[in-house]
């Protein structure tokens, strides 16, 4: 559902050129291509690029540009892309502001950036930062994983010259400790169904408390 929300907001169209930053195994690329967009996918990991090429080829998607790339130093021309997707990536970039500056540079005027990231101001965030790290004193299993809340993500995005067009909360499952460790699988399935019914309402009422936050921003013509 997280990917679906971001892609619906991105709304790829025929003739658009889109950069997928941190494309991973290419899970979002087929949707964009099916809607007529030209897509370039980059990832810091050669292994993920290899996996994306293999998976996309198996599903009949050939001749797609997939390459190793660093979001803080993009090898593309100024104003080359209509849209950029950066889904669950920005939290893993120590110099996030530099990445946003590069995204701003390669977007066309009024081009769109759709960005998602985990939210520390959520039940998941409470489980991670308070229960897991402070109470249990467990190390988080990632070398760099800096979650942000809605205001923080909006702030660093606007600082680079973007204008926020839309914000949305995604995923209101009650944390990973309850969902993964404390309840049996059959109860988990019931919980997922129940939450799916109320999530659209929660996303509108309390977007700032979703496990994932999604921001759509437009490149302003004056920075």
The secondary structure of the chain as a DSSP string is -HHHHHHHHH---TT-EEEEET-TTTTTHHHHHHTT-EEEEEES-HHHHHHHHHHHHHTT--S-EEEE-BTTB--S-TT-EEEEEEES-GGG-TTHHHHHHHHHHHEEEEEEEEEEEE-SSSHHHIIIIIIIIIIS-PPPSSS------HHHHHHHHHHTTEEEEEEEEE-----HIIIIIIS-HHHHHHHHHHHHHHHHHHHHH-GGGSSEEEEEEEE-S--
**Mean pLDDT within 199-203:** 92
Q: What is the pLDDT of residues 112-159, one digit of tens each?
A: 999 999 999 999 999 999 999 999 999 998 889 999 999 999 999 999
Give the model's confidence band at 180: pLDDT under 50 very low, under 70 low, under 90 confident, else very high.
Answer: confident
User: What is the model's pTM?
Assistant: 0.94
Q: What is the pLDDT of residues 151-175, one digit of tens each?
A: 999 999 999 999 999 999 999 988 9
């Amino acid at each position: 559902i997280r990917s679906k929300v971001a892609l619906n907001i991105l709304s790829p169209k025929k003739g658009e050129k889109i950069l997928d930053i941190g494309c991973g195994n290419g899970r979002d690329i087929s949707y964009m291509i099916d809607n007529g967009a030209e897509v370039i996918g980059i990832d810091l990991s050669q292994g993920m690029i290899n996996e994306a090429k293999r998976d996309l080829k198996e599903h009949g998607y050939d001749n797609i540009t997939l390459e190793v790339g660093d979001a803080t130093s993009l090898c593309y021309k100024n104003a080359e892309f209509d849209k950029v997707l950066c889904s669950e990536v920005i939290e893993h970039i120590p110099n996030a502001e530099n990445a946003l500056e590069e995204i701003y540079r390669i977007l066309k005027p009024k081009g769109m950036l759709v960005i998602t990231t985990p939210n520390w101001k959520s039940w998941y965030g409470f489980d991670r930062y308070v229960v897991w790290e402070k109470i249990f004193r467990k190390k988080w299993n990632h070398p760099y994983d800096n979650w942000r809340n809605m205001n923080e993500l909006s702030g660093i995005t606007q600082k680079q010259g973007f204008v926020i067009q839309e914000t949305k909360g995604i995923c209101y499952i009650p944390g990973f400790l309850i969902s993964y460790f404390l309840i049996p699988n059959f109860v988990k399935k019931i919980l997922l169904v129940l939450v799916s019914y109320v999530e659209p309402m929660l996303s509108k009422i309390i977007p700032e408390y979703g496990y994932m936050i999604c921001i759509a921003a437009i490149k302003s013509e004056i920075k």
